[in-house]
Structure 1
Amino acid sequence: MCLPRWKIPAWVEQARHALLAIAIAVAAPHAAVGQETGVGDAFELVDPDTLRVCADPRNLPFSDEAGEGFENALAELVAEKLGRPSVDYTFFPQGVGFVRNTLQAFRCDIIMGYAQGDELVQNTNPYYQSAYALIVPPESELADVTRLDDPRLQGKRIGVVAGTPPATSLAKYGLMGTARPYHLMVDTRASSPVHDMITDLAADEIDAALAWGPMAGYYAQQQTPPLKVIPLTSEVDGPRMTYRITMGVRPSDQEWKRELNDLIRENQAEIDALLLDYGVPLLDEQGQPITR
């Protein structure tokens, strides 16, 4: 699908002209004060009236074009709290080039969910923490397994997305021989590996599944009966399973980041409730589950 041609808003052009004027002034003989005080640092190309969101068009439970993901709902909440009358999306499949073609191209001003520490964006403070999870039927003999080195997992058909931290642990514990791998890098407009994996689990084609917590919780609660989601917070060896999630903004947008940090701090309880509605397994700073 071709992306629609983007027309540069008037406020962006005005800001660019202002920056150009400052650059010319800095080049003049008497501009030393302007250089020392960092005059241009105050200009941030963030739309003051519309919350412009960078998102994947088909990546539930996070976002989609129909607005059914929890990041869509979070964007509406953020816009409301900031007094922005509307939310506008730039959709692009998440993968290679996502940040470059959206946030860095000034086509939008915020990515609603980004792992803390990723260098492609500037992170806000985290607004939730979750973990990769084991998903099993509630009546399964594996329903009380909490670690991937549990001997009861030996010989089981375990679904796992290739290239993720749980896949590394399965290899470490000799579980890949009977595992069923699902693709990591896919066009989300045509495929959803975690959805397919959970569907296979519900159909008894595999015995257990491993997935990132928000995806695990969302798809598990859609089954009848709902599947059991066990966050992998007890791993003592192997790759990291727990991650903090932030909002992503441009490195130049310092004031915008501070505004979002204030919003997160002041509305954390409401954000938690929203995420729990979508089945996201939330963890506190001690790695303990957050419930209602």
Structure 2
Amino acid sequence: MEQVRGVVELTRPGNALAAGVLTFIGAFVAGGLAAPASTAVAVLATGAATGGGNAINDYFDREIDAINRPDRPIPRGAVTPRGAFVFSLALFAAAVGLTLLLPPIAVAIAVVNLLALLAYTEMFKGLPGVGNALVAYLTGSTFLYGGAAVGGDLATVSVLFVLAAAATMAREIVKDVEDVAGDRKEGLSTLPIAVGERTALGVAAVFVATAMLASPLPFLRGTFGSAYLVVLVPTLLGLGAGTYRSFDDPATGQTWLKASMFLAALAFVAGRAAVVV
């Protein structure tokens, strides 16, 4: 039973479920409910890939986790390192197999994501900002992947990708500012440690500004109507307020940024739902 629990924990089931939801949103925004089978395949593939990524990360981080996170499955002995590695490969194989059932552009996105994940784990981990950028890209790309899976309107989903990726990048930087004392003690080289906290927060603000500038495009292009704007306005207010608060209270700021990112996704869902209805 402990081994089964450990294997499940390796996948970070909450994260895998959240990634699947984002893929579903991307598919819905791009094509409504026109391709339910492809949407389901893409959601399952995303969950498997996310779980595999989390498992392989635990495999490579097992020595660090033995010190910092002894409660994780490998350090506490619930799963062997080899078992975690094989399990991650099985999940990646499942994700690839499912993705091959989808259009070529979805396959291309999946390949890029897998290569980016492996390159980060093996080559770029520890470089300031690179981890933040990878998390931001992968978060945004789940929307693109969902849209590509159903062969829908990628122009609109691309706006959601930019908005989500930029907002996530900002939040990841603010989280690093929040954790700077502990990260410095652990000898990590995050962006705030490398360039200074205020400079890092300025970089985060630039990403938020990018997200805010991109967000009205679906309305301006006539793709979505007033339903989109109704949810978008509080989203923009939340992004702005979260950025402002980050300079004196990073914990509150990053929480607002996270909430605003999910509001942004809901704005796109509301916009598409109004069109479908």
TM-score normalised to structure 2 length: 0.24
Higher RCO (CA-CA < 8 Å; seq separation 6+): 1
Determine which structure has more spread, i.e. the larger CA radius of gyration.
1
- TM-score when normalising by structure 1: 0.23
